[in-house]
Structure 1
Amino acid sequence: MTDGVQVIAERSGTAFRLPRGAILTVTDPKGEQVADLLAYNAADVREVISSGRTLDYAETISLTTGHALYSNRSQVMLTIIADSVGRHDFLLTPCSIDTFHHFYPDLKPHRGCFGNLAEALAPYGIEPDAIPVAFNCFMNVPVAADGKLRVLPPVSKAGDHIRFRAEMDLIIGLTACSAPDSNGGSFKPIHYEIETVADQAAVL
């Protein structure tokens, strides 16, 4: 059996191992909440999820069911196998204390997803400088005809989810995003659940 639904509290993050073949489901339980996701090769953390490689090979910035997320070594790390939202971002870097100074000078600074990921990944030997652009589940970043980027509230509703299959043994970093604009001005938890190969076999 799985360990059941795990809760990432608002404005926090976690890290965990995800074995090859396992299914990771990331759920927005209340709606309009972003979750930053990172993936590292568990056998060599220098191999890490790559926005550039993924977007290059997919030939689109609109990643959804059927698309693969590639590493900096052009290996498939995760495959999206289900997606009830269809709107995610793989352009913008995790928010950080510098993000708050830049975009929210009138708000109390927060260490953001970058700081939360750095703390969660440290026990795995992953240093802050090894944190790349994350796959931002549910984040809504439309691109205008002139190239202008906007950050709008997610279109995800309560219970919406995205499911990934691990294509290698991974270390995953995952957050409940801390930036006001990314989450429609409020902060909510993120849920996730892991289904291993053994779990899948037990159902058959």
Structure 2
Amino acid sequence: MEHAIECRHIERQSGTGFRLKRGQILRVIDPMGEQVADLMAFNAHDLDEVLSSGRSIDYANTIYLTTGHVLYSNRSTPMFTILEDQVGRHDFLLTPCSPETFQIIYGNYAPHPSCFMNLVENLTPFGIAPDRIPTTFNIFMNVRIAESGELTIGPPISKAGQYIELQAEMDLIVGVTACSAELSNNHSFKPIDIEIRGQGA
């Protein structure tokens, strides 16, 4: 594997946005362990094409996407292929936490950082409006499903230094956050690191 051509450190409860060329590899790293990273992507040449939870889960026939699985767009076009996954547990059911999340779920009406607002802030410069941001791929998030259908959010099982690598299958605009939700991160907020490898097509 060639050396990273770009590295970014995402501080706790913050985010970043960037371009990724087709063929480049994105490594998302949990440097301290038990920290979720929300990921969203758009076709760099057509912002109406966006990463799709429904398509990706449908075609993989599993909610636990991992090594070898493809993440599809709303137009059923491959956006990412998961090349390597050292953790094996991520969520693609739940939306990025928002100010309303903390009001409705936590009963917290005080100002609170959120993945949705961090994505909005970092994707707006690329022309992406808030209403374009759908369900994110919640890397390292540990969501368990009971037979009744009830969801339980457990601590991430990621350990310090573990990562997932995704290869871009088209030119992309990508947003990544270090998640701000207490339940998702075992009540401790930590940073996320990313590396971009390869020159792309």
Q: Normalising to structure 1: TM-score of the pair? A: 0.94
Larger helix fraction of residues? 1
Counterpart in the other structure of 1:201: none
Once the two structures are superposed, residues 84-126 of structure 1 have per-residue CA deviations (whole angstroms, 9 ceiling, x without a partner) of 0000000000000000101222474314000000010001100
Name the stretch that deviates more: 97-106 or 174-183: 97-106
Counterpart in the other structure of 1:57: 59
Matches of 2:63 and 2:22, distance apart in 1: 25
% identity of equivalent residues = 60
Matches of 2:111 and 2:88, distance apart in 1: 31
Matches of 1:96 and 1:196, distance apart in 2: 33
- Aligned in 2, Cα 1:100/1:4: closer, same or farther, shift over 3 Å? same
Q: How many aligned residue pairs are there?
A: 198
Which residue of 20, 41, 47 maps to 1:39? Answer: 41
Mapping of 1:5-84 within 5 angstroms?
5-84=7-86
In structure 1, the gaps of 5 or more residues are 199-204
* Mapped contact 1:180–1:186 kept (Cα < 8 A): yes
By how many angstroms is 1:4 displaced?
4.4
* Mapped contact 2:5–2:198 kept (Cα < 8 A): no
Which residue of 138, 141, 145 maps to 1:139? Answer: 141
In structure 2, the gaps of 5 or more residues are none
- Aligned in 2, Cα 1:182/1:168: closer, same or farther, shift over 3 Å? same
By how many angstroms is 1:9 displaced?
0.3
Matches of 2:108 and 2:117, distance apart in 1: 20
Mapping of 1:116-155 within 5 angstroms?
116-155=118-157
* Mapped contact 1:8–1:14 kept (Cα < 8 A): yes
Matches of 1:107 and 1:152, distance apart in 2: 24
- Deviating beyond 4 angstroms after TM superposition, the runs of 4 or more aligned structure 1 residues are none
Once the two structures are superposed, residues 17-53 of structure 1 have per-residue CA deviations (whole angstroms, 9 ceiling, x without a partner) of 0000000000000000000000100000110000000
Matches of 1:109 and 1:82, distance apart in 2: 37
Q: State the one-letter code of the partner of 1:127.
A: A
